[in-house]
Each structure stands twice: as structure tokens, then as C-alpha cells.
A and B are shown apart, each in its own frame.
Chain A
């Protein structure tokens, strides 16, 4: 069974990110973020398992090629 969304201090996080949010915006974001963070924390726990130690983040699927400056 999925656990309840967690309480996220959106105001503090927003200040940390220099993102101005008024009370109404804070509430709107909190409604979305609380479930996201719960699930993201769960995924983080899973990915921290020693079984997955060798996995590197896939930031982009890089297809190495050379781009020579000046070439069209």
C-alpha cells in the first residue's frame, strides 16, 4: 500500500531556490510536490541499494560524434 504524501516545507525550499512564491502558490506547489517527493524518496532508497552500485546516471544517451567548428 502506498504511504501518505509527506509534508514538504515548500516555503523554505522556494527561498533556498530564490523562487518567489506567495501563500497561494506555496499551497498549489505543496499539493503536487508532496506526492512526488514521497515517491522520489522511495526511488532514491531503492537505487541506493548496493546491488545497483555500478549504475551511472543516464543524463543523455550520448551518441559520440565530432562536430568540427565551421562545418555546416
Chain B
């Protein structure tokens, strides 16, 4: 593997700034790797080969002339294909938007550009982000670089794979019910679902308005903090954007986790999961204790019920958004998404509103718990990567379960409550498949999540392992 693609985002940006490496070299290395391996992995829908090289050459000239281009200068970044990029095809993984050329960037795209990032392409995803497998019927099923017979999870599967496979130095994903955290866990990468309202959703094709977020997907927590600092912040174009100042996520990164109080909910997050996942997350908790943290059992009385609430909200809202196309162009949807959209239309208003009341209840219980703990740690999902195309999964005792409800069992909590949640790689199963844990924090306290995740990565090496691509 080229040494260049093994650089972290932070390292690459520093070397460009110091003029020790050219943005052209970074882009060429990324493009070569995509060309060599993405025919199998299908992590990209559109690769910006020509444009990325043009921008890289311009960045090289400006850098040589002494211009500072921003904290991400010259670094190739990918964006999930539901994030609008001006003048470039943005499909949301769909046939419905197959020919959409946005007239303007999404806000996150603008901010990344202004920080000097070079867009290498748009990543593949579950159609309209409404699913957790990234088995896309229109652009090909994304495959897991650790084992190409396995799925990469989703819906930001392409972004996670592109990062894990070293096709880019970071990627943008979106997370409604787990779509950054799940593929990050399955692919051994870092992914941050921020507090609802922390990162602008303007210019991103919605899935569920009341739960949608966008966030960074990277190989290290330091890289995540670097990207997040660029992406986060108030945006008047997004009605749900939070008008509060951001922390300096990099400055607070190295604070360690001595005296940190970590909450766990043993009656939920550690009850129904595959044994390697249980062992990996318990191992991570032991590491945190060695680093000076304290683990505290917490009872979240009404945590059961979160899956139903999530399914109700996450189906009613997209079904509303897609009402017209579902009637005018039903055959242009993939079978699974079409069925979910049709079903979502038929839930009752009272179902939806009771689910929204449940969110208030659950959020209240977590906010109350944060009086005694600083973060929660739990698995990101209860199983490791299953085979591509499977719609059911076995977690325990040979019993098959529906994939959609099973996969969102542990990610729904942050989605419903609006709390930030960071996936950090914390182990591998006996077959070498990655396992991830969530670190869930107080509203707008991403700085603590990043500090804790960084401390974990300083003490472990899970994030340093790379998949061997064929």
C-alpha cells in the first residue's frame, strides 16, 4: 500500500501546509487506489477524477506561493451522495434523483471547501438513506473491505468503506437512525453523530427531519475532531440549527479520561448481542478503567420501546417527504425502500405523536442520568457484519430477526434523544471483522466524546489495522 494513503487526515494536512507533500500526490494516490479496488467495493457513485486533480494543482500552486488554504488543505475528502455539491450529480443513491445537479453546495460542503478540502467523489449509500445495508439496487451493493462477502452496513456504507479502504482521508456521512455509527462500527472506522442541530442539514436530502444529522467519518478520533471543527456551527439556512458556539475540539482532545464517570445500562445494551461484541465492549470498559475512569451501572427505566418509536418516526417522516414520488414514480424506488415508504404512510397520527412524546420521556431520563455520569458507553450494534443481501440476522440462539429492527437496537437512543454519539473501533471478532462501541454524551458535548475516544485510541491499536484489499 502506498505510504501516502496510510497518512491520517491530520498528518496529510500538516505535510501539505509544510509543503512536504503536494495535494496532487494525495489526490493521485487516492484515485489510483479507487481505480484499483472500487470495482469490487462499489463505495463510490461518482468519482471526481478530473475536477479533483484540477483543484489539487491549483492548491499546489497556491500553497507553493505561501497561501494558507485552511485546516484541511489539499486533503481528499468524500461526501455521501445525499449531500449536494454544486454542479455535480447528487443522486441520494436513487433513480429518482439520478440526474440531479444541485445549483448550490450543501452548507457542510461549502465549509469543507473553504477549509481547503478537495472533493474526491460522492459515495454510494442505501437508497435515500432509508436502510442499514447499503445494498443499492441502482448503483450496486457496497461491499465490506474486510471481507467482500459481507455487508458494510449503512446507510453511509460507501463513506465508511471509502475511509476504511484508504480511498480518501475522511468522508461526510449522515445519521438518522444510526447511518454513520453503524457502518463505522462494521468497517472499523470512527464516525460521529453530532447533537441534533450542531451540523447544518441545509442542502442534504432529508430522511427524517426530526432526527437527521450529518457528521465526519474518519480513521482516527483526531481526524474526526479536525473535520468536525470545520463542519459544525450555526447555519441560518437550517431552521433546526443550534445558535450556540462550538468548542475548540482539537484543543480539548488530549485531556484524557481520568475521573471520567462512564454509565452503562446492563439491562439493555449488554443483554442481546453476539459474544464477540460483548467481549470487545467489555474489554473497552476495562481499558477505560485502566485509564482512570469509573464505570457506573445506570437504569434508564423506559429505554425499552425505543425501537418502535424510532421505526414509527423514521418511517412516517420519509413517507411524508416522498408522498408525491411514491404515487408518480413508484417503480423507480428499490423494492425494500418502496415497501418501507408505503408502510410509513399507513401508520396513525397518534402512533407518530406518541412516539414523539416517548422521545421527550427518554431524553428526560438520559439528561437526569447525566447528573451522575459524564458519558455512556455501549455497543454500536449487536452483531458483526453479515453476508451481503441478507435481510434477517441471527444474534443469539440461532433465532433469526428482522435486519432493520435488529441493526438499530442500540443506535436509536441517541437518534431519539438528540444526543451526540461517537463510534470508536474497539475490537475484532475471531474472523477479523471489526467491532465498534458508542460513546454517548450530553447535548453539545462532542468535545468530551472526542477526548474520551482519543484517549482510548492512544491506549489501543484497533484503529491502526487496515483491511487487505484484493
- Among B307, B342, B348, B350, the one with the most A-chain Cβ atoms within 10 Å of its Cβ is B342
- CB < 8 Å: which of B209, B342, B358 contacts A43? B358
B145 on the interface (CB 8 Å rule)? no
Q: Assess whether B353 is in contact with A57, with CB atoms less than 8 Å apart.
A: yes
Q: Which residues of A contact B361 (CB under 8 A)?
A: 47, 52, 55
B209 contacts A60, CB within 8 Å?
yes
Chain B proximity mask over A26-65: 1 for CB below 8 Å, otherwise 0? 0011001101110111111011100010011111111111
B363:A58 contact, CB within 8 angstroms: yes
Question: Does B312 contact A40, Cβ atoms closer than 8 Å?
Answer: yes
Chain A residues near B347 (CB-CB < 8 A):
33, 36-37, 40
Asked if residues B363 and A19 are in contact (CB atoms below 8 Å), the reply is no
Task: Tell yes or no: B450 within 8 A of A by CB.
Answer: no
**Which residue of the partner chain B has the closest CB to A34?**
B343
How many residue pairs between the two chains, A and B, have CB atoms under 8 Å in the bound complex? 118
Instruction: Check A23 for interface membership: any CB of B closer than 8 A.
Output: no
Q: How far is the CB of B94 from chain A (nearest CB, A)?
A: 19
Closest to B311 in A: A36
Contact yes or no, B308 A58, CB < 8 A: no
Q: With A17-B346, A56-B360 in contact, do A43 and B355 touch (Cβ < 8 Å)?
A: yes
Whole-angstrom distance between the alpha carbons of A14 and B361 in the complex? 31
Q: Is the CB of B360 within 8 A of A55?
A: yes
CB pair A58 B326 closer than 8 Å: no
Give the distance in Å from the alpha carbon of A72 to the alpha carbon of B202 in the complex.
Answer: 14
- Would B346 and A47 count as touching, CB distance under 8 A? no
Interface size class of A (residues with CB under 8 A): 35 or more
The bracket for how many chain B residues form the interface is 35 or more
How many Å from the CB of A28 to the closest CB on chain B? 5
Q: Assess the B359–A58 pair: CB atoms within 8 A.
A: yes
Question: How does the 8 Å CB contact mask read for B226-262 relative to A, with 1 for contact and 0 for none?
Answer: 0000000010100111111000000000000000000
Measured CA separation A5–B315 after assembly (Å): 18
Q: Is the CB of A63 within 8 A of B242?
A: yes
Give the complex CA separation of A56 and B355 in angstroms: 10
Q: Are B308 and A42 in contact (CB under 8 A)?
A: yes
1/0 per residue B150-192: CB within 8 Å of A?
A: 0000000000000000000000000000000000000000000
B88 is an interface residue with CB less than 8 A from chain A: no
A71–B236 touching, CB < 8 Å: yes
| A8 nearest CB neighbor, chain B only | B346
Q: Which residue of A lies closest to B340 (CB)?
A: A32
In angstroms, Cα B244 to Cα A47, docked, is: 32
Closest to B361 in A: A55
Q: Which of B338-384 contact A (CB under 8 A)?
A: 339-340, 342-343, 345-348, 350-351, 353-361, 363
Q: Which residues of B contact A33 (CB under 8 A)?
A: 343, 346-347
Q: Are B197 and A58 in contact (CB under 8 A)?
A: no
B196 at the interface (CB under 8 A from A): yes
Known: A32-B340, A48-B354. A60 touches B311 (CB 8 A): no
The interface residues of chain A lying within 8 Å CB-to-CB of B307 are 39
Q: Which of A39, A71, A72 contacts B311 (CB 8 A)?
A: A39
**Given pairs A67-B236, A67-B239, 16 additional interface contacts (CB within 8 A):** A8-B346, A13-B346, A19-B326, A19-B345, A33-B346, A36-B308, A37-B347, A40-B308, A40-B355, A43-B312, A43-B354, A46-B302, A56-B357, A59-B356, A64-B243, A65-B241
List 28 contacting pairs A-B, 8 Å CB cutoff, sorted by A: A17-B346, A18-B327, A19-B327, A28-B335, A28-B342, A29-B342, A29-B343, A33-B346, A33-B347, A39-B311, A40-B311, A40-B355, A41-B351, A43-B354, A44-B350, A47-B358, A52-B361, A55-B360, A56-B357, A57-B357, A57-B359, A58-B210, A58-B357, A58-B363, A60-B239, A61-B196, A61-B210, A62-B240
Q: Residues of B at under 8 Å CB distance from A?
A: 196-197, 209-210, 234, 236, 239-244, 302, 305, 307-309, 311-312, 315, 326-327, 335, 339-340, 342-343, 345-348, 350-351, 353-361, 363, 402, 418
| Interface of A toward B, CB cutoff 8 Å | 8, 10, 13-14, 17-21, 25, 28-29, 32-33, 35-37, 39-44, 46-48, 52, 55-65, 67, 71-72
